[in-house]
Amino acid sequence: MPKHYRPPGKKKEGNAAKYITRSQAVKHLQVSLPLFRRLCILKGVFPREPKKKVKGNHHTYYHTKDIAFLQHEPLLEKFRNIRAYDKKVNKAKAKKNRDLAERLLTRRPNYTLDRLIRERYPKFTDALRDLDDCLTMVHLFASLPALESEKIQVKRIHNCRRLSHEWQAYICRTHKLRKTFISVKGIYYQAEVEGQKITWLTPHTLQQVLTDDVDFNVMLTFLEFYETLLAFVNFRLYHSINVKYPPILDSRLEALAADLYALSRYFAANSSATVLGSQAVSSSGAEQIDITKDGTQPDESELRLAQLQHQLPSNEPGTLMHLVEDASCEDEDDEETRECKTLFKNKKFFLSREVPRESLLFVIPAFGGVVSWEGEGAPFKEADQSITYQIVDRPTQGHIFLSREYVQPQWVFDCVNARIILPTDAYMVGRVPPPHLSPFIDNEAEGYVPEYAEMIKRLQAAARKEVLPIPGAGKEDLDDPQNLLVEGIISRTEANEVAERKQKMLALENQYHNELQLELQGVQYSSSVSNMNKQSSVEDTEAWEESLPNMQQIAEDTTTMSKVVMSRKKRRLYEAMQIGKERKRAHVNLLKERKQKIEAAQGSQKS
């Protein structure tokens, strides 16, 4: 009996029973393909790779259990209901019965996704782990235009904006932001929440390019799930810091599109309100008592009131700072958060019109700075004398306050990544800033360290030393910016020394090897048969001389010999690894080559 023959009564076994193709699944579920797609997206069901592809190589396979899982999903029934209902509406429309159609539309069956979220992410950390795509998508849609033709509604765009701002406000408030990177694609942020590293990309705040080779139905289905997920995640996070979740914002600031700032104000107001809750209620004026007398007053308005009360003092510069400090004293943070919190401490920033306000309003307070901007609703004006840095992105700066430094926005991002305050000379107005490097790359592992990364490392080392010898050295000379340079020089000389030592070691090693070789030859010579004639010995010495530069050959031989004894599987693996290494090395070599060329070109220009 051939192996593939299955007698009529017998069930399928193995991969044939475990996996079905997509078209089989669609047929089995009795749904249309778009609906199946939608269900898969919402339920998080993905095709799996069977060990043996029974139906052929060009099919997608789903596990039968996954399909059964979809089949028992209440949402499936719900979608069927909705479809039937939509038919009703269409019928009414076709009969020109607009009343009926409108009335029917008001009672369209609705569905929620919260159960699915709980099902897909039984723990909160699971949800956080999968938040990368969610955040990227929500941030992308927050910057997309509403398109009627693609069914991208204004409401959803606004919801995305709101959710993204809420998320950013939380990260900013709890100082959980770790890395930032301005790329061509947008700005990457990395935060660490509950031990999970969450990276997301926000597009540059410009009119986005819409291409027509994109199926927005798929994206909107994803977005639907992501919106719900982010809302629940935000709720949970807000509750973890004792802030009421759907935040009520100052409508004035909201109108000025300073949502993030409004949110931060809300935080500030709320946290202090919770701390001082009872006190506020007792000490507030007669009007508040009137309100509480109303009895049925929901607590929202109370919060609102508290917020409004705090609005007055927080308008003054520094109050926000104060509040932030207050909050930070309360909770115990890990080392890194503390470091992040204090990076821009006691520094005041002012943003010019042309810099990307949203991202800087997010980044600077996340690292403990105070920030204002040019425009309405700003907490302090440009003329404020206490501003330490003004962030400018224009070719020339007309009026200059001498009390502050004018830097390009990249400086902030570089400082954040390096965790030190970098010298501002290179980032001055009108200059081409130094290269912006990715914080996500481990330079050592990559095998190539860009020049500026080395400089930053030196500065970091210098900064660390600055912290250490406080009791010994006087603080005043450490504050001196020139000291940094001195430190840099010291570390450089150190590095040189190390390099020299290394070279010496290498030379020694080489010598040792040579000696070893000599010894080997010597032994052979002495032990070789005594009646070996002169000619052969001469030849021998020649051969030895030849073999001297053949060190490389010997090394090669040892690798090939060890490869000979390996089993085939291991050898193939080893070779594959070698290929990967070789590719990496080629990339690094290419970079070095380019670098050399560029340096040569610059040298020739100078001379």
Partner 1 sequence: MAKRETPRLDSLNKKKKEKEKKMDESSKHQQEENVGDKQLHQGFSGDEEELTESESDGPVLSEDEDYVSADGDDSLHNDPSEENEGGSSESHQGIEESDSSEDEVAPRNTIGDVPLEWYKDEEHVGYDISGKKIKKKVRQDKLDSFLASADDSKNWRKIYDEYNDEEVELTKRETRLIRRLLKGKAPHAEFDPYAPYVDWFKWDDAKHPLSNAPEPKRRFIPSKWESKKVVEYVRAIRKGLIKFDKPKEEPRVYHLWGDDSSSTEKAGHGLAYIPAPKSKLPGHEESYNPSLEYIPTQEEINSYQLMYEEDRPKFIPRRFLSLRSVPAYENAVKESFDRCLDLYLCPRARKKRINIDPESLKPKLPSRKDLKPYPVTCYLEYKGHKGAVMSIATEASGQWIASGSIDGSVRVWEVETGRCRRVWEIGEAVHYVAWNPLPGLHILAVSSGQDVLLLNTGLGNDEEQKNIEQLLRIETPGSMDDTGNTTSIVSWVQDDKHGGIRLKHFKTVSSVEWHRKGDYLSTVMPAGESRAILIHQLSKKLTQRIPFKLHGLPVSSIFHPTRSIFFISTKKNVRVYDLLKQKLVKKLETGLREVSSIAVHPAGDNVIVGSREGKLCWFDMDLSSQPYRILKCHPKDITNVAFHHSYPLFATCSDDCTAYVFHGMVYSDLNQNPLIVPLEILRGHSSTNGRGVMDCKFHPRQPWLFTAGADSVIKLYCH
Looking at residues 352 to 371 of the shown chain, list those that interact with partner 1 (rule: CB under 8 A): 354-356
**Contact status: 512 vs partner 1 (CB under 8 A):** no
Range 170-209, binding partner 1 (CB under 8 A): 181-186, 188, 199, 203-204, 206-209
Q: Give residue 408's identity as a one-letter amino acid code.
A: Q
- Check: CB of residue 426 under 8 Å from CB of residue 434: yes
**Contact status: 40 vs partner 1 (CB under 8 A):** yes
**Contact status: 540 vs partner 1 (CB under 8 A):** yes
The interface region with partner 1, picked from 25-33, 303-311, 493-501, 571-579 by CB under 8 A, is 571-579
Handedness of CA 447, 453, 455, 458 (dihedral sign): negative
**Contact status: 451 vs partner 1 (CB under 8 A):** yes
**Contact status: 552 vs partner 1 (CB under 8 A):** no
Q: Is 257 left (phi over 0), alpha (psi -120 to 50) or beta?
A: left
389-391 and 348-351 strand pairing:
parallel
User: Could you tell me the smallest distance in angstroms from the CB atom of residue 218 to partner 1?
Assistant: 6
Range 54-73, binding partner 1 (CB under 8 A): 60-61, 63, 65-66, 68-69
Convert residues 391-430 into a mask of x (bound to partner 1 by CB under 8 A) and - (unbound): --xx-------------xxx--------------------
Beta carbons within 8 Å of 232's beta carbon, 6+ residues apart: 114, 117, 127
Among 94, 312, 383, 432, binds partner 1 (CB under 8 A): 432
- Check: CB of residue 152 under 8 Å from CB of residue 220: yes
User: Could you tell me the smallest distance in angstroms from the CB atom of residue 193 to partner 1?
Assistant: 13
Looking at the Cβ atoms of 29 and 41, the one nearer to partner 1 is 41
Looking at the Cβ atoms of 137 and 262, the one nearer to partner 1 is 137
The interface region with partner 1, picked from 2-10, 41-49, 282-290, 376-384 by CB under 8 A, is 41-49
Q: Which two tokens stand for residue 364?
A: 């600077």
- Specify the 3-state DSSP secondary structure of 322: helix
Euclidean distance between CA atoms 96 and 90, whole angstroms: 10
Looking at the Cβ atoms of 278 and 535, the one nearer to partner 1 is 535
Closest CA to 330 of 264, 241, 247: 241
User: Could you tell me the smallest distance in angstroms from the CB atom of residue 547 to partner 1?
Assistant: 8
Closest CA to 169 of 361, 348, 298: 361
Among 539, 582, 585, 600, binds partner 1 (CB under 8 A): 539
Closest CA to 242 of 212, 215, 209, 275: 275
- Check: CB of residue 406 under 8 Å from CB of residue 392: yes
Beta carbons within 8 Å of 183's beta carbon, 6+ residues apart: 201, 438
- Check: CB of residue 360 under 8 Å from CB of residue 381: no
**Contact status: 515 vs partner 1 (CB under 8 A):** no
Range 584-603, binding partner 1 (CB under 8 A): 591-592, 594-595, 598
Range 464-503, binding partner 1 (CB under 8 A): none
Euclidean distance between CA atoms 305 and 285, whole angstroms: 11
Position of tokens 């990260």?
171
Handedness of CA 208, 212, 214, 220 (dihedral sign): positive
**Contact status: 161 vs partner 1 (CB under 8 A):** no
Among 24, 450, 483, 488, binds partner 1 (CB under 8 A): 450
- Check: CB of residue 377 under 8 Å from CB of residue 256: yes
**Contact status: 105 vs partner 1 (CB under 8 A):** no
Range 266-305, binding partner 1 (CB under 8 A): none
**Contact status: 102 vs partner 1 (CB under 8 A):** no
Among 296, 531, 604, 605, binds partner 1 (CB under 8 A): 531
Angle formed at CA 330 by CA 326 and CA 331, multiple of 5 degrees: 125
The interface region with partner 1, picked from 251-259, 369-377, 507-515, 566-574 by CB under 8 A, is 566-574
Looking at the Cβ atoms of 232 and 261, the one nearer to partner 1 is 232
Among 28, 37, 55, 161, binds partner 1 (CB under 8 A): 37
Convert residues 214-253 into a mask of x (bound to partner 1 by CB under 8 A) and - (unbound): xx--xx--x-----x--xx-xxx--x-----xx-------
Residue 206: alpha-carbon gap to chain centroid: 20
Per DSSP, 152 falls in state B
User: Could you tell me the smallest distance in angstroms from the CB atom of residue 532 to partner 1?
Assistant: 7
Convert residues 308-347 into a mask of x (bound to partner 1 by CB under 8 A) and - (unbound): ----------------------------------------
Supply φ then ψ for residue 196, to 5 degrees: -100, 130
Among 94, 529, 534, 606, binds partner 1 (CB under 8 A): 529
- Give the DSSP letter string of 116-132: HHHHH-SSHHHHHHTHH
Beta carbons within 8 Å of 511's beta carbon, 6+ residues apart: none
